[in-house]
């Protein structure tokens, strides 16, 4: 009798359903002094999401649907999240008309190939130990010419550069490899992300640095000459 081929182990997932009673909305957003970050992200999305309408938009790691009311121009919005508790919270707020809620792992997306006109992923990539595998899954769901808006946490931010220079931090913000600063929480070098995106066939058309070490500096996302020093970066990609 022959031995069946081994299934490769799936990369680990940070399970938001298993946070010892902690809730993402209450513990991270509500009354936590993050209004600037929330506002800046909405402004960034407004600027970057073009076209603002289409048939189907996929939001990956949508959580409780904080940003989902944005996508009103799309006939169908698919909210994917690993945590059922997040999706049921989103469903209570958004309802069923126009929305589809899918509890799934982004590493194994149950979405048919080439069916989405747009995709958005905000504050999720930092939980991925295998970025190329996740990006390949997302890329496969997109129709030709579809837009993908990706936010990632930039390890080459001002705070990390200062801490490294002062010897307060062991890891280098200049090295391309991702840094796992807490289990399943990574910051990324922009060059690493750019290479991973282009390896699966994305072309970057626009980049927007959004928050500065998490501190607010104006009511709009700022536009510095480069994107050195910025903590949260948005990229618009065309597949
Ligand atoms: C920090 S929250 C961000 C939620 C939302 N995007 C926002 O900005 O408010 C990260 C979300 O990603 C989800 N997530 C993490 N890893 C995932 C995976 N492998 N597949 C699907 N969802 C995942 C979590 O369940 C959680 O809801």
Higher pLDDT, 102 or 236: 102
Higher pLDDT, 213 or 43: 43
pLDDT of residue 47: 86
pLDDT of residue 129: 97
**Ligand 1 atom 14: the closest Cα is on which residue?**
61
pLDDT, mean over the chain: 86
pLDDT of residue 239: 53
As a whole number, mean pLDDT of residues 150-175 equals 93
pLDDT of residue 226: 41
Q: How far apart are CA 44 and CA 36, in angstroms?
A: 12
Q: Which pLDDT tens digit goes with each residue over 89-108?
A: 999 999 999 999 999 999 99
pLDDT of residue 98: 97
pLDDT of residue 237: 63
**Model pTM score:** 0.91
Length of the chain as a residue count: 239
Higher pLDDT, 150 or 3: 150
As a whole number, mean pLDDT of residues 66-89 equals 95
Q: Which pLDDT tens digit goes with each residue over 192-212?
A: 999 999 999 998 888 888 865
Mutate to test the pocket of ligand 1, among 124, 125, 136, 184 (most ligand atoms within 8 A of CB): 124
Q: Check whether 218 has a pLDDT greater than 80.
A: no
Q: Check whether 224 has a pLDDT greater than 60.
A: no
181, burial (CB in 10 Å: exposed 0-12, middle 13-18, buried 19+):
middle
Q: Check whether 4 has a pLDDT greater than 70.
A: no
As a whole number, mean pLDDT of residues 41-64 equals 92
pLDDT of residue 79: 98
pLDDT of residue 228: 45
**Ligand 1 atom 11: the closest Cα is on which residue?**
61
pLDDT of residue 39: 87
Higher pLDDT, 76 or 49: 76
User: CB under 6 Å to ligand 1: residues?
Assistant: 13-14, 16, 24, 61-63, 66-67, 80-83, 86, 105-107, 122-124, 127
- Go through the domains of the chain in sequence order and give each one's CATH number: 24-238 (3.40.50.150)
Mutate to test the pocket of ligand 1, among 63, 69, 107 (most ligand atoms within 8 A of CB): 63
For ligand 1, the distance from its centroid to the CA atom of residue 39, given in whole angstroms, is 19
């Amino acid at each position: 009798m022959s031995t069946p081929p081994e299934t490769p182990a799936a990369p680990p997932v940070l399970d938001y359903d298993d946070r010892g009673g902690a809730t993402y909305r209450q513990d991270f957003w509500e009354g936590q002094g993050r209004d600037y970050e929330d506002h800046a992200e909405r402004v960034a999305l407004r600027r970057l999401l073009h076209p603002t309408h289409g048939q189907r938009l996929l939001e990956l790691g949508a959580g409780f649907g904080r940003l989902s009311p944005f996508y009103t121009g799309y006939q169908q919005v698919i909210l994917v999240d690993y945590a059922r508790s997040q999706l049921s919270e989103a469903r209570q707020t958004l309802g069923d008309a126009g929305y589809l809620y899918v509890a799934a792992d982004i590493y194994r997306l149950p979405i048919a190939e080439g069916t989405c006109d747009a995709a958005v992923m905000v504050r999720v990539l930092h939980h991925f130990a295998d970025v190329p595998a996740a990006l390949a899954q997302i890329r496969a769901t997109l129709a030709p010419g579809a837009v993908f808006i990706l936010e990632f946490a930039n390890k080459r931010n001002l705070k990390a550069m200062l801490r490294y220079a002062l010897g307060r931090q062991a890891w280098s913000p200049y090295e391309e490899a991702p840094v796992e600063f807490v289990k399943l929480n990574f910051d990324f070098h922009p060059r690493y992300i750019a290479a991973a995106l282009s390896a699966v066939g994305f072309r970057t058309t626009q980049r927007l640095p959004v928050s500065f070490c998490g501190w607010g500096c104006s009511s709009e996302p700022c536009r510095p000459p480069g994107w050195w020093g910025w903590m949260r970066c948005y990229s618009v990609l065309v597949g």
